Chain A
Amino acid sequence: MAKRNLIPWYFIAAIFLVILDYFGMLNGIKKPAELVIMPVQKIIYQTITSAKNIGNIYWQYPHLFQLTTEVEKQKRINEELMLRVRELTEENSKLRSQLEAPLPSSFKFIPSQVLGISRFMLLSVGESSGVKAGMAVVSDTVFLGKVVKTTSSRSLVMLPNDPEMKISAKTSRGTIGEVVGQFGGSILMTRILQKEPLFLDDQVITAGSDSLPPNLIIGKISHINSDDTAPYKQAKLTPLLDYQKETTVFIVTSL
Chain B
Amino acid sequence: MILFFAILTLCIIIESSLITFPFTLIITFLTATIWEERGELLAFVAGLILDLFTLRFLGIDSLFFLILVFLWKYYRKRIYPGSILYRLIFLILAASIYSFLFYREINFMKLVLVAVFGTFILFFVNRVFPRVWEKGKLSV
Contacts and interface: CB of A to CB of B under 8 A. Distances in A.
Contacts of A29: 58
Interface string A150-166: 01001010000011100
A30 B58 contact: yes
A154 B56 CA distance: 12
Contacts, number: 102
B102 interface: yes
A119 interface: yes
Interface residues on B, range: 35 or more
A10 B40 contact: yes
A40 B55 contact: no
Contact of A30 (B17, B52, B60, B107): B52
Contacts of B117: none
A13 interface: yes
B68 to A, nearest CB: 11
Interface in A107-145: 115-120, 122
B13 A11 contact: no
Interface residues on A, range: 35 or more
A29 to B, nearest CB: 8
Contact of A184 (B43, B57, B70, B107): B107
A232 interface: no
Interface string A167-195: 00000000000000001110000000000
Interface string A7-50: 10011011111101110001001100110010011001100100
B103 interface: yes
A118 B13 contact: no
A28 to B, nearest CB: 12
A14 B104 contact: no
Contacts of A22: 57
Given A14-B60, A15-B63, 17 more contacts: A6-B41, A10-B43, A10-B44, A10-B62, A11-B70, A14-B47, A37-B52, A40-B13, A44-B14, A48-B17, A116-B17, A119-B20, A119-B102, A154-B55, A163-B104, A163-B105, A184-B105
Interface of B: 13-20, 37, 40-41, 43-44, 47-48, 52-55, 57-60, 62-63, 66, 69-70, 73, 102-107
19 contacts: A7-B70, A13-B59, A14-B47, A17-B57, A18-B60, A21-B59, A29-B58, A34-B52, A40-B13, A41-B16, A41-B53, A44-B14, A44-B17, A115-B17, A122-B55, A163-B104, A183-B105, A184-B105, A185-B105
Interface of A: 3, 6-7, 10-11, 13-18, 20-22, 26, 29-30, 33-34, 37, 40-41, 44-45, 48, 115-120, 122, 149, 151, 154, 156, 162-164, 183-185
